[in-house]
Amino acid sequence: MTAPIDLPADNRLALRRVIRACRKATLATLLADPAGAPYASLVTVAVDHDLAPILLLSGLADHTRNLAADPRVSLLFDGTAGHANPQTGPRATLMGVAERSTDPRLRARFLAHHPAAAQYAGFGDFGVYRVRPDRAHFVGGFARAVWFEAPFGLDGAAAAALAEAEGGILAHMNADHADALGRMAGKLGGEAEPGWRMIGIDPDGCDLARGDVVLRQPFERPLDGPAAAPTVLAALASPSE
């Protein structure tokens, strides 16, 4: 059984931890025909530094046609794995507006988290969409439910600076600290063997991948910018005592 997500007491941080831990979500759109009927579909997702979901969608899909008529969406992120009763587990619904983007950084971030999508990402009917978040509803189990407005406790300037510096941080960690990444993966329950790569870092944590396995390492507290990353990563990757 998958281990439950370790939730912090801070509900904003818990909201972000659930969303960033998910690689798929349920996308809710409004059907263009018949107009206004609710429609839910499964999508793979990457999450940007400011908590904006990134999607790769086919223009042939019903949800994409729906977005052309009404770009408002909700995304349900299910963090209930590991709970015998799903109602006691965490989940988050994020609401916002889906906007098509040609930003190569967003495309690269999505493909880093879903490399198999590279087989069809170049097809003419596929496009990258960024969901501009407005509100989110976090449920951490019974009697723990709260609404938040964007930016959900995030420092926008710090998130933007980390997004700009991400490529350099990943290149450095993967080229010079492969052993450290293996140790980090071992602490997260993965196989502490060579081959792990860091595929993303954001204010709330970092992501490691080896083959089809992706592990999420949350940070104890948000990074206040890229300068804080080396110290935090060194501590997480240090040999166990």
Is 5 within a domain? no
Q: Say whether 219 sits in a helix, a strand or coil.
A: coil
Instruction: State residue 232's pLDDT score.
Output: 94
How confident is the prediction for the chain on average, in pLDDT?
A: 94
Query: For 66-95, what is each residue's pLDDT tens digit?
Result: 999 999 999 999 999 999 999 999 999 999
170 and 104 within one domain: no
Is 2 within a domain? no
Closest CA to 90 of 18, 171, 153, 174: 18
User: Is the per-residue pLDDT at 239 higher than 80?
Assistant: no
Number of folded domains that form the chain? 2
Is 6 within a domain? no
Q: How confident is the model at residue 172 (pLDDT cuts 50, 70, 90)?
A: very high
**Domain that includes residue 233, residue range:** 157-237
Residue 162 to residue 156: CA distance in whole angstroms: 10
Among 154, 171, 198, residue at a domain's last position: 154
Which domain CATH number covers 61? 2.30.110.10
Among 139, 154, 169, residue at a domain's last position: 154
113 and 24 within one domain: yes
Q: How confident is the model at residue 143 (pLDDT cuts 50, 70, 90)?
A: confident
Residue 214 to residue 198: CA distance in whole angstroms: 10
181 and 140 within one domain: no
Q: How confident is the model at residue 241 (pLDDT cuts 50, 70, 90)?
A: very low
Q: Report CA 133 to chain centroid distance, whole Å.
A: 13
Averaged pLDDT for residues 206-227: 94
108 and 52 within one domain: yes
Which residues sit opposite 216 in a β-bridge? 207
150 and 64 within one domain: yes
170 and 73 within one domain: no
Closest CA to 67 of 224, 75, 9: 75
